[in-house]
């Protein structure tokens, strides 16, 4: 009896340890969305434009390059634009003229004066040192999908396969216009007070608050015979 009691006690102790181990083991964390399972990497990628210094000011090719630069800056909601002017390089008059013309061109085409800064840099004696315009931009790098596959017919656990959702994250990274939107939301535009008052007035009068429907908003099936 004494030996049987010891065996039973040992069995209960082992069972208790096993039960405690199972109960204390936390369930594995499961991602809720494809972008959590396959995150998109967003990193800073400075955008720069280099302009050769001309004593006559900006050339037609340089103004076209500046137009594209401003368009990219506006689309990316870029921050401060640095105009880097070389010193200890080429003709100081040409450098000064190109620097000032570039700044004035930015201001004349919608860039806030408070967002434009002129700074200098040492050209190290390089007579061809350019005037450099730059701002902080971002690029998005998506996951690499399809690197390994499991048995897609093994559905007994009713779980998604390993690559499920990877293509969605990869496509989002490739298509997004401004990767900075993945880091933080954009600032809201000011409210349209006049439109808001119009909607409230119509609401109080029991009228429809939507905009009037025009012909361009109507769709119809063509009756033409082909």
Per-residue pLDDT tens for 92-140? 999 999 999 999 999 999 999 999 999 999 999 999 999 999 998 888 9
d(CA 177, CA 189): 19
Cβ burial, residue 60 (10 Å; 0-12/13-18/19+)? exposed
- In our burial notation (b when 16+ CB lie closer than 10 A, e otherwise), range 173-183 reads beebeebbebe
Q: In this structure, are strands 47-51 and 138-141 parallel, antiparallel, or unpaired?
A: unpaired
The ranges assigned to domains in the chain are 42-139
For residue 150, the model assigns a pLDDT of 78
Question: Nearest CA to 131 among 32, 203, 49, 43?
Answer: 49
The CA-CA-CA angle for residues 6, 12, 15, to 5°, reads 140
What does the pLDDT look like over 28-56, one tens digit per residue? 556 567 778 889 999 988 899 999 999 99
CATH hierarchy code of domain 42-139: 3.30.1330.60
Q: 135 phi and psi, to 5 degrees? A: -150, 165
Pull the structure tokens for residue 192. Answer: 């349209």
Tell me which residue of 137, 143, 30 sits closest to 77, measured CA to CA.
137
Query: What is the chain's percent helix, strand, coil content, to nearest 5?
Result: 40, 15, 45
Q: What is the pTM of this model?
A: 0.58
Virtual torsion, Cα 104, 106, 107, 112, nearest 10 deg: -140
pLDDT tens for 146-192 read 887 778 787 777 777 788 889 999 999 999 888 888 888 877 878 88
3-state secondary structure of 126: coil
Q: Which of 16-20, 79-83, 116-120, 140-144 has the lowest mean pLDDT?
A: 16-20
Q: What pLDDT score does 85 carry?
A: 95
């Amino acid at each position: 009896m004494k030996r049987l009691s010891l065996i039973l006690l040992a069995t209960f102790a082992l069972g208790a340890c096993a039960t405690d181990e199972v109960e204390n083991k936390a369930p594995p964390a499961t991602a809720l969305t494809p972008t959590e399972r396959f995150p998109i990497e967003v990193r800073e990628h400075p955008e720069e434009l280099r302009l050769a210094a001309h004593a006559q000011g900006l050339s037609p090719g340089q103004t076209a390059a500046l137009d594209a630069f401003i368009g990219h800056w506006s689309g990316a909601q870029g921050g401060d634009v640095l105009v880097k002017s070389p010193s200890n390089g080429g003709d100081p008059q040409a450098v000064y003229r190109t620097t000032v013309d570039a700044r004035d061109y930015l201001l004349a085409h919608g860039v806030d004066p408070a967002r434009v800064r002129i700074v200098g840099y040492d050209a190290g004696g390089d007579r061809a040192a350019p005037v450099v315009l730059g701002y902080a931009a971002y690029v998005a790098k998506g996951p690499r999908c399809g690197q390994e596959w499991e048995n897609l017919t093994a559905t007994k656990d009713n779980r998604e396969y390993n690559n499920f959702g990877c293509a969605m994250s990869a496509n989002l990274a490739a298509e997004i216009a401004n990767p900075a939107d993945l880091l933080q939301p954009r600032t809201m535009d000011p409210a349209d007070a006049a439109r808001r008052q119009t909607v409230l007035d119509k609401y109080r009068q029991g009228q429809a608050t939507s905009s009037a429907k025009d012909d361009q908003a109507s769709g119809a099936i063509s009756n033409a015979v082909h």
